[in-house]
Chains A and B, each alone.
Chain A
């Protein structure tokens, strides 16, 4: 199959306008006849469901949480980028576009990225109108800060709770549409499969997480905004419930999975404290604006009280290695350098598995320079969170940080319209692969989720609907019934294995395998080890899994087992993709491919493409399809943040 990105040509600044103008429209009186399913209620899904509801479509929205307000977008701390140029510091739509393509290490589609930058300004207008309490200056005008990888201050923020406030804005718009009955909300309901009829997406099969009831929901279009797959690593900054089931099951039904190996490590997370650890907590990288990263120059100092280590014995390694960006280098570089320092034995904090994995993030100078009040104004809630988790006070003792899996740039392949390779299946937000290339810049995830939800999908989904007749199938359709019975059979299979190990224990083991072999630094040898072990572990899972209880009740173990089963398959594809991509780009660092200074070395001649994997059956190797990337505006160069 040839991948047609359907990206308009012509001057880049005119492309989105042109696409909107060419979009077909649905008569307002006919809109309620079209049934739209939105899976996920985070920034992309919540905004898309609310906006399509406003337009008059008959929307059903699904989330596994007890309320749409709890989707994991809520945990984003730092901010959202927009090319408003309120600071008059040289920002523009073009610059945001340029920075995002470059920051993504030239592995994103230019047309999509430009549209994202263009829409960023509308997002801020929309959120402010909804009552999102962004930080303001005493003038009453909006405040900005600068964020990892950018030399302009274009990030809008609401203390350290930007994601929460943006999500509440989308949730409130969604609530209004629920009240108006244009949206029917299905909380505590998990999508377990995609229904396709003649290759076209026509609905989903869900499980009610309270009663266990399996149901089919048919529709004229399905929109997945179900988030990323970072939990394939077990320990990540994702919420415990985040999973790949919606995207993976759609992949199995024909949606290509693109660039799964592009996973992002966030440089500033609270280090693991023991082997019982259930998740890792991110500390906003806005902390790097004022905090200074260092490790002791001498390994012997690593166990000492940091305050007793004199300035001369501290290595502010980011400032040393990258004088122009200093502590604000992009995430992948900051992460890799932290790993290097710890691998060299300079890590600090508790030993877990024989290694100290932590670097200091020190606010001592910031408190001296700005005063404690200003530091508190900017970071107090983050400091409190840190203290609750570690028992240490960052005003007194430097924070300890270590990188953790945070975001996945890969996802279902989509064209410019955000439609997957399955007709009628659209994918928004982190669930798609589209805008960040190999690495996402800070404060760009919220921007992409909301751009897709408020502005892109509400144009492209109606354009699709205008070309199809509403309705035509119901629950009695043979393809619907077949999909329902397949879901029921899968649940029965998991419940009847009758083995000894819990789904949690398999997830943990899979995660460790992935982190060790497909984490911050990858090698062909390590990836092959993982590719040997994952099928063995999966086989064990299907022969020795234990689930207590039945399918007809609230059963957390059953939910987990289904998600872990899909993570196994995704893990394998991720390693296959990482092995096939013989270059380093952004979050994908192949140790065989680095410069003499240890920087990521791309191979533009051979790998300037999107790897879109096609499912070819559970026992067959996936098939690679390539979407070549053409750079007409931002010409690939080696990133340099020196």
Chain B
């Protein structure tokens, strides 16, 4: 049966990228424990709007944990306290009556705040644009079963491909590193025979772009793995490093930085 609770929220409010932000305290009353965290914010926002105050801006879309749009730091943890769970899939049964909850945007130089809890994550798109693909034009593909892929390799590639690009890994990292995100895509494609021809070039370009965007370095804190709602393993970061080393060994003079896009 439903449990109702009263909560206090301390929410980061920031009107635009250029204006300074700060925490504002709100009371959320009679919150049903079957609500999702975002439904709780919907209720708070409807109240604010009724009072003529600007609702709290946050990114969200599918609310099924797959589009990767939502994401906020809840009590210091990206996506909040539940393991392997995006903010939209976090439900209020994870909280108790009287709890005080602090809600902040992702904090990283490469993810500037646009408004309140909304950040600009286009740096991720530019990392993918640098080489996170297999160059096959529509129509040029061979018969799908002409290239068997061992099930284990395919399954492992899937584990890496499950990344939703939410950015929690960056928000969790003390260095704001995007290593887990970048490694997941590099590994997904490197594990498949289809990805082999561009393998060396891909890792060089994507790592260079990751650096150019201003993400920090990975120093193995492993916070990213703990925060990842899709349980992407940091072993992929090791794989990315191996990929980069072998690419550098093969053609050392081709490693160079890229302009920020």
Contacts and interface: CB of A to CB of B under 8 A. Distances in A.
Interface in B116-133: 118, 120-122, 124-125, 128-130, 132-133
A638 to B, nearest CB: 36
B38 A556 contact: no
Interface in B176-219: 188-189, 192, 194-195
B57 A554 contact: yes
A385 B64 contact: yes
Interface in B33-54: 34-36, 38-39, 42-43, 46, 48-50, 52-54
A141 interface: yes
Given A128-B144, A138-B151, A391-B91, A175 B69 contact: no
Contacts of B54: 548-549
A131 B189 contact: yes
A532 B138 CA distance: 49
Contact of A65 (B67, B91, B143): B67
Contacts of A556: 55, 57
Interface string A144-188: 000000000000001101011100100111011011000001010
A95 interface: no
A553 B115 contact: yes
B145 A72 contact: no
Interface residues of B, number: 81
Contact of A548 (B55, B61, B125, B158): B55
Given A278-B36, A554-B115, A142 B61 contact: no
A274 interface: yes
Contacts of B52: 546, 548
Given A47-B138, A187-B122, A141 B36 contact: no
B253 interface: no
Contacts of A168: 161
B136 interface: yes
A75 B68 CA distance: 11
A565 B183 CA distance: 44
Interface string A62-75: 00011111101011
B8 interface: no
A504 interface: yes
B138 A239 contact: no
B134 A172 contact: yes
B133 A130 contact: yes
Most chain B CB within 10 A, of A124, A278, A505, is at A278
A277 interface: yes
A210 B114 contact: yes
A633 interface: no
Interface stretch (B82-90, B97-105, B239-247): B82-90
B252 interface: no
Contacts of A185: 125
Nearest to B31: A276
Given A72-B67, A126-B138, A388-B91, A274 B144 contact: no
Contacts of A164: 66, 162, 164
Given A67-B165, A86-B145, A126 B46 contact: no
Interface centre among A122, A384, A388, A389 (most CB of B within 10 A): A388
A407 interface: no
A139 interface: yes
A297 B113 CA distance: 55
B66 A161 contact: yes
Contacts of B115: 210, 553-554
A178 B129 contact: yes
Interface string A49-63: 011001000000000
A273 interface: yes
A276 B133 contact: no
Interface string B146-159: 01111100110110
B2 A70 contact: no
B175 interface: no
Given A67-B165, A175-B132, A553-B15, A133 B158 contact: yes
A72 B93 contact: no
A75 B66 contact: yes
Nearest to A546: B49
B220 interface: no
B141 interface: yes
Given A65-B69, A502-B49, A557-B49, A175 B138 contact: no
B42 to A, nearest CB: 6
Contacts of B114: 210, 554
B188 A131 contact: yes
24 contacts: A47-B138, A69-B128, A70-B67, A134-B154, A141-B148, A161-B162, A163-B66, A165-B161, A172-B134, A176-B129, A178-B125, A240-B63, A241-B61, A273-B2, A274-B34, A278-B63, A281-B64, A388-B91, A391-B93, A454-B139, A546-B50, A548-B53, A554-B114, A554-B118
Interface of B: 2, 15-16, 32, 34-36, 38-39, 42-43, 46, 48-50, 52-55, 57, 59-69, 82, 84-85, 89-91, 93, 114-115, 118, 120-122, 124-125, 128-130, 132-145, 147-151, 154-155, 157-158, 161-162, 164-165, 188-189, 192, 194-195
Given A131-B194, A158-B161, 7 more contacts: A66-B121, A67-B125, A129-B134, A141-B145, A172-B132, A350-B2, A504-B49
